Amino acid sequence: MRLIGFVLCVFVAFLGSVSMSQAQTRRIIQLSGFVSDSVNVLPGVHVYVPKAGRGTSTSPAGFFSMPVLEGDSIVISSIGYNRQHYIVPKGANDNLTIIVEMVSDVTYLREVQIMPFPTEEVFKEAVLALNIPFDNGIDQKNLNAELMALMLKTTPMDGAANYRYYMDQWSTSAADKFQPRTNPFLNPFNWARFIRDLKQNKK
């Protein structure tokens, strides 16, 4: 019995040494790449090796770089996109660059119509039972052109008009900041223009 146990221990140790030697023969590869959809690069995409428990995320430019081993299965996932898988090929270069194009995960839902009526027949009956008055209740005298013009002249400015007036005054004051504001009544050219227009109107 002791001999059988000793042989089993030696066999298990031999298998462990073989597996460790095989793991040590796997080369380390620096994997880099860009992740994008059909139009733009995708930042914040998770790139990781589930078995090894290591990974990284893409930069704002959609770039990532991480060390991997030959034969590692890499998962690329992001919210709103289908999960992608990539297996590092054996015999690859020490620096491997890939480009991953994600596909949108689109789920189409059935159309839902929300109505205040339980059935279409009830809705039709309610529409047919409506008594819509054609008289809108507006007195046509209030739509007189002269009255509307008078209301337009006498109605005071509201907040928007006051703000517009203030901004116009402020822009004028900014333009006249470094020069005196002239009085148009003291300009001889304005008087000459006024007299000329006055003579033309008399003719």
| Per-residue pLDDT in tens (0 to 9) along the chain, 203 residues | 565 655 565 555 555 554 444 445 778 899 999 999 888 899 999 999 998 888 999 998 999 999 999 889 999 999 889 999 999 998 888 899 999 999 998 888 888 877 777 888 888 888 888 876 666 666 777 778 888 888 888 888 888 888 888 888 887 776 676 666 677 788 888 899 888 888 887 65
Sign, Cα dihedral of 175, 180, 183, 184: negative
Residues 6 or more apart in contact with residue 83 via CB below 8 angstroms: 75, 76, 77
Q: Amino acid letter at 177?
A: K
* Element holding 128 (H helix, E strand): helix 120-128
- Farthest CA pair distance, the chain: 139
